[in-house]
């Protein structure tokens, strides 16, 4: 997080990364004395020459780590971007749960699992007491947020996140709305990252950048008579646990068949979807999801971990979306 201080008398701006750095210097410089205000401002700025800037461009959101094609530029798509500043979730932009989906037993999506503090979206998974459901089947508080806008299309999408240390997921993905899916006869899903901080059954989930795509056709059947589900995936080893530190997970959704994936700003994978069944498989507009859920194929999180606030929280620093526009 950064703060920009602008002084009209001196016609300069300072970008300060840490208020703890500037506060003692302000006190030392003697800002409490009005008659020496201009002099003391100069003194303070001289003490912080490495923060002084000709303008405030460094405080702006950076572009994606992808060069725009010739004749185009990247523009932030506000409907699917959030720096998570302030004290609460932006209710104009986000649902504080997942409309139409409760979660997977025993993990119920509840708004109380969602909070915004210290410039982060926090999703905390804890023990639910008393349990809910007819038979008490829901006993873990899980969390999900979803964009209210459902028009996300080709562009670049990225989050910076530190996963919890539980056997619950930390995810970043897109899906087309159910009503639209019925109209066009297919459900599309783009999974940019699916990980588990303390994965046990498949340990790779705790140290990999895992990408996946699903296209489920309602009017086409596979050889077993089930709805045809075309999927393609890729994975990249991060080199450490997903809960050890923050990482940037990004995807350039180029078009209906091509998706490039970026780990900490570096291109690491590409998924090319087959076109034999459908010439444009991933062509639907979608919404964005940040979800911490229970997987039915993974062991349940341990009770002690669910009680431990140092382990049970996923921290999303930001989510950003960019679209290409002609220059």
**Active site members:** 189, 194
- 308 touches 197 (CB < 8 A): no
> CA–CA separation, 36 vs 50, rounded Å?
23
> CA–CA separation, 58 vs 70, rounded Å?
24
> CA–CA separation, 214 vs 191, rounded Å?
8
> CA–CA separation, 249 vs 192, rounded Å?
7
* DSSP bridge partners of 234: 211
Q: 78's torsion region: left (phi>0), alpha (psi -120 to 50) or beta?
A: alpha
Structure tokens at 101: 């989906």
What Å distances lie between residue 234 and 12, 127, 260, 266, CA to CA? 48, 33, 11, 15
Is the N-terminal amide bond of 106 cis, ω within 30° of 0? yes
Euclidean distance between the first and the last CA atom of the chain, given in angstroms as a whole number: 30
- 200 touches 302 (CB < 8 A): no
Structure tokens at 243: 């809960």
SS3 325: strand
> CA–CA separation, 187 vs 73, rounded Å?
30
Q: Residue written as tokens 């229970």?
A: 294
């Amino acid at each position: 997080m950064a703060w920009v201080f602008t002084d009209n008398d001196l016609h300069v701006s300072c970008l300060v990364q840490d208020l703890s750095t500037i506060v003692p210097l302000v006190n030392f410089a003697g800002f409490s004395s009005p008659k020496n205000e201009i002099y003391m401002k100069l003194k303070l700025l001289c003490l912080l020459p490495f923060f002084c800037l000709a303008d405030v461009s460094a405080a702006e959101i950076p572009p994606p780590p992808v060069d725009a094609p010739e004749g185009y530029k990247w523009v932030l798509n506000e409907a699917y971007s959030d720096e998570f500043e302030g004290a609460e979730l932006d209710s104009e932009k986000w649902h504080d749960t997942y409309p139409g989906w409760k979660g997977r037993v025993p993990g119920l999506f509840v708004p109380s699992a969602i909070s915004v503090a210290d410039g982060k979206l926090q999703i905390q998974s804890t023990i639910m007491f008393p349990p809910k459901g007819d038979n008490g089947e829901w006993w873990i508080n899980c969390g999900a947020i979803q964009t209210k806008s459902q028009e996300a299309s080709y562009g670049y999408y990225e989050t910076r996140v530190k996963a919890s240390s539980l056997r619950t997921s930390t995810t970043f993905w897109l899906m087309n709305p159910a009503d639209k899916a019925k109209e066009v006869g297919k459900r599309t899903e783009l999974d940019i990252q699916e990980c588990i901080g303390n994965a046990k059954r498949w340990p790779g989930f705790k140290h990999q950048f895992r990408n996946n795509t699903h296209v489920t056709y309602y009017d086409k059947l596979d050889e077993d008579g089930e709805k045809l589900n075309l999927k393609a995936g890729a994975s990249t080893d991060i080199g450490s646990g997903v809960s050890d530190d923050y990482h940037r997970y990004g995807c350039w959704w180029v078009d209906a068949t091509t998706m490039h994936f970026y780990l900490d700003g570096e291109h690491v994978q590409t998924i090319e979807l087959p076109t034999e069944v459908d010439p444009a498989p991933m062509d639907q507009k979608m919404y964005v999801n940040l979800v911490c859920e229970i997987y039915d194929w993974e062991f349940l999180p341990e009770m002690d971990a669910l009680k431990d606030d140092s382990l049970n929280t996923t921290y999303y620093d930001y989510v950003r979306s960019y679209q290409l526009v002609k220059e």
